[in-house]
Chains A and B, each alone.
Chain A
């Protein structure tokens, strides 16, 4: 289906209006020609009326479209549009009069056709002025409309529409039916004209302009309409009276009445306009304050708005705003005060007894603004407004006026509301910043957690001579527990478990150092005690003075069926011997790494070789398990671990590990947190 070109209502109605007007002109001139030459042109009066009604409708559509299009225009511009149309119409009328005045008594001046042409121009301009102004009034009446007003307006429009065709039924004007309908339309115009809600929104200056424009509209409308009567005098010259239309007359009254009402109401609203403006500013300031500030912006902007709002709300002559920072009482903002008078005022306020009492009350969140009389040559009143954020006084706002008792109750109320609003905004801003910061830390910790997880081996070295499993859990996001394995050669495997003193991030860093040391030293094929000596020497250079690391190392020889073990301050490992069905802690001497940071350490570490058999278990763990406490502050302890291992020694290492961890959690209690890192490595020899 071919797409219809979209109809441009504005252009179309404009074009049609011109065409209709030309047709009207033509018809009337033909009729005049007939009349002068005593011929009946055969054109009925109704034909003119139809064209006239069409002309009105076209103008109506055109302006309705234009005004709807620019509906966002402000009131002043709308009224100016009406006034300018009126001035233009009047101007054209005046020009025509001047033209005739200049012609004097020439033949051209008497020419009925020229007169008739100007009459039609005059008619068109009046129609445009009246109809466009009415439509502007309509948009003003329907500002902040209610359902009732809309209904009233629709009724009025319907009546006007019927007025368009009134002339067909009642050609004689100003008889009773005519006057009756006119009275109805005038009455409706009066009823509609009380809708003047737009006026209070004008500023003081705008009101003056509005008054001027309305005056022009009234003047032009009266002038033009009075002048039309002059045309009516001669039916010889003008065979048909175009102005004598109920529609046009009704709209004329409507235009006049609404303009008159608006004029009066605007005039009487002039004195109170400053109050309304004030309230509007306050509302806008509230809105600005309550909009929470973005994290990257600063609090100063809020305080800036607060100071300006309070000053305008109280008509203050000077003010400053100070915020107590950690360093000093920083004065953030000063308004309309020079350095000298500010110093004087600060001194005056500091000394004021009332203020000292007020500050002494100390209940920050119940503080009310304080009004003071001050003894200063220029400023006579001060108002101190506390700024309370999170129940603590973060600053104060001080306003000054050059009159006594300058701050009335309304001002103090509005100012304290402003201050509260600003406090909320500042508080929100701080919370938001905090939240953003916290989120970033959380993110960082998650990364640390991931990195640390990767430091623990995902695959544990072993052969068919033993099975091995390991588990580690950090109390915080990251922890200081460490375990690792290494295959020295075909039959020899190293297992290490370690625990960094403290927990959390610092422990995690040391744990990664431990891993580095383990992997570099273990390649040297050292014996366990030698490994510990070297590790101690290395760690002594990296650890802070009050940090140490405990570790246990095992070198398992699956061929010789034995393991060599050294312990550096670590909790002893548990060895379950299948032959005797008993578990025993491997208590050998050994000092933690990083405690003795000299050669003396050699004397404090020993190593020992233990044989193993199939079915034996080696259970390694960190002190987090031993020291885990229950609600009664009892420790999990070595004995519980031993009996658990003895009881479940037949289990696969992974199951034994699950049993251990479950038992630990059960011991600590339902939601009791184990507040230390804990790890376990279980080896089962086959």
Chain B
């Protein structure tokens, strides 16, 4: 079960994730990401506060856009991850490539 919501909060595009991401619904995540990039988003924030689980297929979606972000200079930040989800990012080593912040305030402050 996954529900996605894109909120445009100039200059950010905030993607709110709610539920679990697995192989069956990772396509929806991919579509949302693609949409934001096609919209010309320059700063993408992913709100993972209500993300309970992410499978390797979901991680694969984030991973596949890393090059695009780098090439087009898009800022990409994930925040609000629960410890267990954060652990998954960490084990895979994605925390070295994606900037992951504890909450939205931290993100805004740092920018």
Q: Min CB distance, A667 to chain B, in Å?
A: 16
Docked Cα-Cα span, A547 to B30, in Å, equals 13
Q: Which of B7-15, B37-45, B54-62, B73-81 has 4 or more CB atoms under 8 Å from chain A?
A: B54-62
In the complex, chain B residues whose CB is within 8 Å of the CB of A591 = 92-94, 96-97
- Please report B residues at the A interface, Cβ cutoff 8 Å: 23, 30, 52-53, 55-57, 59-61, 63-64, 66-67, 84, 88, 91-94, 96-97
User: Which of A502, A548, A569, A596 is B23 in contact with, Cβ under 8 Å?
Assistant: A502
Q: Decide: B63 and A502 in contact? CB cutoff 8 A.
A: no
Q: Decide: A589 and B23 in contact? CB cutoff 8 A.
A: no
User: Which of A546, A589, A596, A627 is B97 in contact with, Cβ under 8 Å?
Assistant: A596
User: Which of B30, B52, B96 is A546 in contact with, Cβ under 8 Å?
Assistant: B30
Q: Decide: A501 and B97 in contact? CB cutoff 8 A.
A: no
Q: Min CB distance, A482 to chain B, in Å?
A: 14
Docked Cα-Cα span, A502 to B67, in Å, equals 21
User: Which of B53, B61, B66, B93 is A569 in contact with, Cβ under 8 Å?
Assistant: B93
Docked Cα-Cα span, A571 to B92, in Å, equals 8
Q: Decide: A501 and B93 in contact? CB cutoff 8 A.
A: no
Q: Decide: B60 and A546 in contact? CB cutoff 8 A.
A: yes
Q: Min CB distance, B100 to chain A, in Å?
A: 14
In the complex, chain B residues whose CB is within 8 Å of the CB of A633 = 52
In the complex, chain B residues whose CB is within 8 Å of the CB of A568 = 93
Say yes or no: A546-B63 contact (C-beta < 8 A), given A502-B23, A502-B57, A591-B97: yes
Q: Min CB distance, B101 to chain A, in Å?
A: 20
Asked whether any CB of chain B lies closer than 8 Å to the CB of A401, the reply is no
Asked whether any CB of chain B lies closer than 8 Å to the CB of A565, the reply is no
In the complex, chain B residues whose CB is within 8 Å of the CB of A28 = none
Say yes or no: A589-B60 contact (C-beta < 8 A), given A503-B23, A595-B66: no
The 5 closest A-B pairs by CB, nearest first: A591-B93, A501-B56, A546-B64, A546-B60, A569-B92
Say yes or no: A569-B91 contact (C-beta < 8 A), given A503-B23, A546-B30, A595-B66: yes
In the complex, chain A residues whose CB is within 8 Å of the CB of B66 = 595-596
Chain A 304-341 near chain B by CB (<8 Å), digits 1 or 0? 00000000000000000000000000000000000000
Q: Decide: B57 and A501 in contact? CB cutoff 8 A.
A: yes
- 10 CB contacts below 8 A, A to B, read A501-B60, A502-B57, A503-B23, A504-B23, A546-B60, A546-B64, A550-B92, A571-B91, A591-B94, A591-B97
CB nearest to A568 among chain B residues: B93
Asked whether any CB of chain B lies closer than 8 Å to the CB of A557, the reply is no
Docked Cα-Cα span, A676 to B55, in Å, equals 10
Asked whether any CB of chain B lies closer than 8 Å to the CB of A545, the reply is yes
In the complex, chain A residues whose CB is within 8 Å of the CB of B61 = 546
Docked Cα-Cα span, A569 to B92, in Å, equals 4
CB nearest to A596 among chain B residues: B97
Q: Decide: A635 and B84 in contact? CB cutoff 8 A.
A: yes
- Please report A residues at the B interface, Cβ cutoff 8 Å: 499, 501-504, 545-548, 550, 568-572, 589-592, 595-597, 604, 623, 627, 633, 635, 676
Q: Decide: A501 and B59 in contact? CB cutoff 8 A.
A: yes
Say yes or no: A502-B56 contact (C-beta < 8 A), given A546-B30, A595-B94: yes
Q: Min CB distance, B64 to chain A, in Å?
A: 4
In the complex, chain B residues whose CB is within 8 Å of the CB of A571 = 91
List 15 additional contacts besides A502-B57, A590-B93; criterion CB under 8 Å: A501-B59, A502-B23, A502-B56, A504-B23, A546-B64, A548-B59, A550-B92, A569-B93, A589-B96, A591-B92, A591-B97, A592-B92, A592-B93, A595-B92, A627-B53
In the complex, chain B residues whose CB is within 8 Å of the CB of A623 = 56, 88, 91
Docked Cα-Cα span, A501 to B94, in Å, equals 14
Q: Min CB distance, B81 to chain A, in Å?
A: 15
Docked Cα-Cα span, A592 to B88, in Å, equals 11
In the complex, chain B residues whose CB is within 8 Å of the CB of A570 = 91
Docked Cα-Cα span, A627 to B60, in Å, equals 17
Q: Decide: A548 and B56 in contact? CB cutoff 8 A.
A: yes
Residue with the greatest number of chain B CB neighbours at <10 A, chosen from A572, A589, A596, A633: A596
Q: Decide: B60 and A547 in contact? CB cutoff 8 A.
A: yes
In the complex, chain B residues whose CB is within 8 Å of the CB of A547 = 60
Q: Min CB distance, B86 to chain A, in Å?
A: 14
CB nearest to B61 among chain A residues: A546
Docked Cα-Cα span, A265 to B53, in Å, equals 86
Docked Cα-Cα span, A572 to B93, in Å, equals 12
Docked Cα-Cα span, A3 to B61, in Å, equals 89
In the complex, chain B residues whose CB is within 8 Å of the CB of A503 = 23
Q: Decide: A604 and B93 in contact? CB cutoff 8 A.
A: yes
Docked Cα-Cα span, A635 to B93, in Å, equals 21
Docked Cα-Cα span, A501 to B56, in Å, equals 5
Q: Min CB distance, B3 to chain A, in Å?
A: 17
CB nearest to A480 among chain B residues: B56
In the complex, chain B residues whose CB is within 8 Å of the CB of A597 = 67
Docked Cα-Cα span, A372 to B94, in Å, equals 69
Docked Cα-Cα span, A537 to B53, in Å, equals 29
In the complex, chain A residues whose CB is within 8 Å of the CB of B30 = 546
Docked Cα-Cα span, A646 to B5, in Å, equals 44
Docked Cα-Cα span, A530 to B90, in Å, equals 21
Docked Cα-Cα span, A221 to B83, in Å, equals 111
CB nearest to A503 among chain B residues: B23
Q: Min CB distance, B46 to chain A, in Å?
A: 16
Q: Decide: A595 and B63 in contact? CB cutoff 8 A.
A: yes
Q: Min CB distance, B50 to chain A, in Å?
A: 14
CB nearest to A595 among chain B residues: B63
CB nearest to B68 among chain A residues: A545
Docked Cα-Cα span, A546 to B62, in Å, equals 8
In the complex, chain B residues whose CB is within 8 Å of the CB of A548 = 56, 59-60, 63, 92
CB nearest to B53 among chain A residues: A627
Q: Min CB distance, A634 to chain B, in Å?
A: 10
CB nearest to A571 among chain B residues: B91
In the complex, chain B residues whose CB is within 8 Å of the CB of A604 = 93, 96-97
In the complex, chain A residues whose CB is within 8 Å of the CB of B84 = 635
Docked Cα-Cα span, A653 to B13, in Å, equals 51
Q: Min CB distance, A202 to chain B, in Å?
A: 67
Docked Cα-Cα span, A457 to B24, in Å, equals 31
Docked Cα-Cα span, A501 to B53, in Å, equals 15
Q: Min CB distance, A309 to chain B, in Å?
A: 46
In the complex, chain B residues whose CB is within 8 Å of the CB of A627 = 53, 55
Q: Decide: B97 and A572 in contact? CB cutoff 8 A.
A: no
Residue with the greatest number of chain A CB neighbours at <10 A, chosen from B57, B66, B67, B93: B93
Q: Min CB distance, A197 to chain B, in Å?
A: 66
In the complex, chain A residues whose CB is within 8 Å of the CB of B60 = 501-502, 546-548
CB nearest to B91 among chain A residues: A571
In the complex, chain A residues whose CB is within 8 Å of the CB of B57 = 501-502, 546
Q: Min CB distance, A498 to chain B, in Å?
A: 12
Q: Min CB distance, B23 to chain A, in Å?
A: 5
In the complex, chain A residues whose CB is within 8 Å of the CB of B52 = 633
Docked Cα-Cα span, A502 to B52, in Å, equals 18
In the complex, chain B residues whose CB is within 8 Å of the CB of A590 = 93
Docked Cα-Cα span, A32 to B30, in Å, equals 119
In the complex, chain A residues whose CB is within 8 Å of the CB of B23 = 502-504
Docked Cα-Cα span, A589 to B91, in Å, equals 8
Q: Min CB distance, A635 to chain B, in Å?
A: 7
CB nearest to B56 among chain A residues: A501
In the complex, chain A residues whose CB is within 8 Å of the CB of B97 = 591, 595-596, 604
